[in-house]
Amino acid sequence: MTGLDIRCSMVSVVVLRGAGDATRVLLLQRAGKYLHGVWSYVAGHIEAGETAAQAARRELAEETGLAPHAFYATSFCEQFYDAGNDCIMIVPAFVAQVDDDCTVRLNAEHVALRWLPLAEAARELPFGSQRALFEYVQREFVDRPPSEFLRTDT
């Protein structure tokens, strides 16, 4: 084999509530052995037969019990080197907008949650690509209305 494989087997979902300066993003603290104790956001693997958007909605429901009132694909993909599989991982990001009074029901993957302004939340994230995603979300989903062309109902 020459070069690295490029794989897309995961998705991420940034959950927002509120609008403008009152926008808050959901952070979840991981419970499992992988990244134990780290603050992050909804993420997971695409299952056989699923589109990325379907996987993102499923992961959102499984990890938080939330059903968004608006759901968007973004033009942002996280990318990183996966040393264990010697490949470049591409992770498409989605944005879920939920009601201000929503109730989050955590599954066993997480032990705690916080709603924070994006800039404050970004400081809690361990990886540069995650912080870059939050900067993108601030610019494209908070500072301006998101493009309806990005909205997905799948």
For 61-101, the pLDDT digits (tens) are: 999 999 999 999 999 999 988 888 888 989 999 999 999 99
Number of residues that make up the chain: 154
- 88-145: pLDDT as tens digits: 989 999 999 999 999 999 999 999 999 999 999 999 999 999 999 999 999 999 999 9
Q: Tell me, yes or no, whether 150 lies in a domain.
A: no
Q: How many domains does the chain divide into? A: 1
Q: Tell me, yes or no, whether 62 lies in a domain.
A: yes
| CATH number of the domain within which 50 lies | 3.90.79.10
Q: Tell me, yes or no, whether 141 lies in a domain.
A: yes
Q: Tell me, yes or no, whether 52 lies in a domain.
A: yes
63 contact partners, CB below 8 Å, separation of at least 6: 28, 42, 44, 106, 107, 109, 110
Q: Tell me, yes or no, whether 119 lies in a domain.
A: yes
Question: In this model, does residue 153 exceed pLDDT 80?
Answer: no
Q: Tell me, yes or no, whether 96 lies in a domain.
A: yes
Q: Is the pTM of this model over 0.85?
A: yes
Domain that holds residue 29: 5-145
- 24-49: pLDDT as tens digits: 999 999 997 878 889 999 999 999 99
Q: Tell me, yes or no, whether 108 lies in a domain.
A: yes
Task: Label residue 2 by pLDDT band (50, 70, 90).
Answer: low
Q: Tell me, yes or no, whether 154 lies in a domain.
A: no
